[in-house]
Structure 1
């Protein structure tokens, strides 16, 4: 019997059957009341996940589209500081270089950001800061509250990638002083890939550029968002919108605090397994940084190859992620996001444990340790 692969990577994640089902229905008018109601209700749920009362809009495009919208609309021709300690922070910097003057403050991937250097740049006149809250390429969660306070202190805009934290970890956009925040549909929200949401503060609206992109013009999204029924400025990916609306219903049914707790428990289980195996976690954390609760990055032990490790796991129908760019062959990553739970976590850890032992690494019983975490 052919089975669907189990994706235990940092997105895309498995899409629940009821979310998939809504995409099979006949097309509806994207200027009509049914679409408008679904859009508005999805925005309502997403605002709770973002921790914001700000305007929020959904873009037919990936998370990178929302990252670009944030920079192109609100940081064009400005002095931007890009905080980088992983692949997606680097992507934010590259986007910034298309639109403004960028100073890159780069740390080794998976190591703490230099907040003292950030303050120096802000004192020197930087007008915007970009940062990835949850850097899945290295399994580290970056200090959004501290960066937000520094940005506000120096009257700079704070543009934050929350693509792999919103919906799976605690995010408080307004409390942290974030001016622009974005999320992607295929991560913690457990919807299909292809949509992104962007929330914008009043401070950011006051500084919106006169030279905005066409498709990603946030002023156009704002105007259409005020229509009755609520609309997008251009034709949206309607089936994906309906799928995201259903995914948000499931999030509300679970409850946001319960969902965040589940994500943290799953990550704790993976970390407990790693400790029992004798496998090191990749990131280096301090009092301001933490391990990611949606993607755990682990060092590949000496004598074990990436191909043997992930190749063996894949034979069980389970996919885990490898390292990116210069971390290829050095780390592997296990996603703990979306609608998965104890069954999927234990199956994944059992496959990894088998692969480690098969490669000659004397791994302890991490599965038992993880089970203890998952059942409480």
Structure 2
């Protein structure tokens, strides 16, 4: 059994995960320079330009603030600044919905509206909770642990009807799929840098509505105090309240330049085409998608979650793919060994998709899956359409 030497990508593995994703060379190069003054005009310009593109990605006219911290820092900022002491309804159908639920419990009184991972959210239970006086609702838009896209528009309509605040985790949809925060009545939206934005890990961005600012908590966190970010964001040049991860901001600015060059409509279409090609391969292989959908829910357009075939182990499938220099994801928590997930987000297109699917197809055949069709060919037909 060979451990193949990766020659053509400088010994770098191809990450086809639901984050982190491959980082374009020009984004990496943006970090490789001498330090700059984070209170100076060069940093301020990079911050302001990044925030402007992020507003397009979020589909918002609200201001966007960038935090030195992972997506979870953005999630905590969203709850800690606006949910302290509030009655919170947390919609859960995967791991990251659970994370928002658990964050909510640190700061407010949470009603958890839980569905089995990968199954539809219970919007009737949400309506009942809102009738009961819930003041904030949290939801993950694109739940990568289960490969399901949740109905943000429907949730936002319910939440606004009852004048509550709507917190939406867009960590793995913003910058890759359609997100219309203002149209969907989202009050606080979050994204992480290492997902669809195709930047290095370590930054989060938060967009905040005027309604949310009116309800900001007095007892706010210190480092994640969004009012401090707002105050410093009004300065010329634009600043963060505390020392930022400057190299990551410079990398993000370059990633945002790439997004602007591609255009959001084209970027969304590319992500949808890639995910559709993966689903075509899954169908040709005779395998089952993991999510169970209704009319309101859809398959994720940035990661595909597939039921592991009977008799195939996680190590046999993903281990074979990894020896070929490609990493795909397994299941999390109770889904370990039960599903595998193929990411299709960020700076990847047909070559990466086809290489990944060829490796997976080989691994499935090697593991003894019988009667498989040509998944690679089915995907190529979608990508070439």
Task: Give the TM-score normalised by structure 2.
Answer: 0.97
Match of 1:262 among 258, 270, 273: 270
Match of 2:257 among 249, 256, 262: 249
Deviations, residues 305-338 of structure 1 (Å, cap 9, x unaligned)? 1110000000100000000000000000000000
1:212 and 2:212 equivalent? no
Cα RMSD, aligned residues only: 0.5
Instruction: Kindly state the Cα deviation for residue 288 of structure 1 after the two structures are TM-superposed.
Output: 0.6
Deviations, residues 171-202 of structure 1 (Å, cap 9, x unaligned)? 00000000000000000000000000000000
Q: Distance in 2 between matches of 1:30 and 1:214?
A: 20
What SS does the corresponding residue of 2:65 show, helix, strand or coil?
Answer: strand
Q: Which residue of 1 aligns with 2:378?
A: 369
Match of 1:276 among 278, 281, 284: 284
Moved more, 2-11 or 332-341: 2-11
What are the residue-to-residue correspondences of 1:327-366 with 2, within 5 Å? 327-362=335-370, 363-366=372-375
1:69 and 2:53 equivalent? no
Q: Which residue of 2 aligns with 1:200?
A: 208
Unaligned runs of 5+ residues in structure 1 are none
1:294 and 2:323 equivalent? no
What SS does the corresponding residue of 2:291 show, helix, strand or coil?
Answer: coil
What are the residue-to-residue correspondences of 1:1-376 with 2, within 5 Å? 1=7, 3-362=11-370, 363-376=372-385
How many residue pairs align between the two structures?
376
What SS does the corresponding residue of 2:17 show, helix, strand or coil?
Answer: coil
Structure 1's consecutive aligned runs of 4 or more residues displaced over 2 angstroms after TM superposition are none
Task: Give the TM-score normalised by structure 1.
Answer: 1.00
Q: Distance in 1 between matches of 2:121 and 2:76?
A: 22
Q: Distance in 2 between matches of 1:364 and 1:329?
A: 23
Unaligned runs of 5+ residues in structure 2 are 1-6
Q: Distance in 1 between matches of 2:154 and 2:123?
A: 8
Q: Distance in 2 between matches of 1:41 and 1:359?
A: 49
Q: Distance in 1 between matches of 2:227 and 2:311?
A: 55
Q: Distance in 2 between matches of 1:152 and 1:345?
A: 39
